[in-house]
Amino acid sequence: MSTDQTASALCEAQIEEFLKPGGFKSWPNIAKRLLSRRRELTEAYYDISEQCRQDPRLIYCFMDALFCSASAWSESAVKKMRHDEKRMYSVNAEISEVAHQLSDLLAERDDLQNKSSFGTDTYYHIIDVVEAAARGNGSFNLWVKEPLDKIRGQFDMKYWPDLHECIHVISADADRAKIRFSSQVTQAALDSSRSSRSDIVRALFRRTQDSVGSSAVDLPDGFKLKDDTWASLINVAYDLHADSLVDGPYIKRLRQRDRQKKRETTP
């Protein structure tokens, strides 16, 4: 068996593990695609095998990063993330505005009730609101309601915030809210200001980097694939259309842009 054949056999043995149930629904399809297009990946498999020291455990570690990225950070998944990110900003802005208006209205209602000869049977104590909201929460009613009522009985209204003050805090909180990414991979995917093929490439780079470590089953420090290897893997694993394929020079340019951006933004 030639060196290339040995490397392909090592990689494909680990790819076949992703045909088994228990992972993402898309894993079997990705695995079948990689296996069926092996001729396009011969050189890539050799590069992976060399970087992983021909160790099946390390090859599996890399394949896990590839399969996870192609599933959780696919082109369609990243586009949805971008949509959700924009919507989150809009939702927080709307919450801030609406809560501010509600806070003003609640304050005005309090003023009317305090200065007029009439009132309403609406909530006035924050605990009334909490208990009403938790009416269907068995754990609250079993463990929290009674001690909370005791605390309420110990302190009169001057010790508690008014409803309008609570809502004002919600308004201010939404106004200053900053989006936090669930993972560094998602942050990498959304690093650019607009959607492009680079989103999935950056996510794959980050997910692979996260797999580098010091244990026997982590990718070794200094793990570095050739640009052509990345391009071949991405084209096949992500099933890119003919008009959106990437190549080695594209990967190289992306790396160069990201390095330049990092230099410019690092103090």
- The pLDDT assigned to 1 comes to 63
Six token digits for residue 237: 């694993």
- What residue segments make up the domains of the chain, in order of their start? 3-72+182-265, 81-175
pLDDT of residue 143: 98
Reading the chain (267 residues) residue by residue, the pLDDT tens digits are: 678 899 999 999 999 999 999 999 999 999 999 999 999 999 999 999 999 999 999 999 999 999 999 999 999 999 999 999 999 999 999 999 999 999 999 999 999 999 999 889 999 999 999 999 999 999 999 999 999 999 999 999 999 999 999 999 999 999 999 999 999 999 999 999 889 999 999 999 999 999 999 999 999 999 999 999 999 999 999 999 999 999 999 999 999 999 999 888 877
8 burial via Cβ count (<10 Å: 0-12, 13-18, 19+): buried
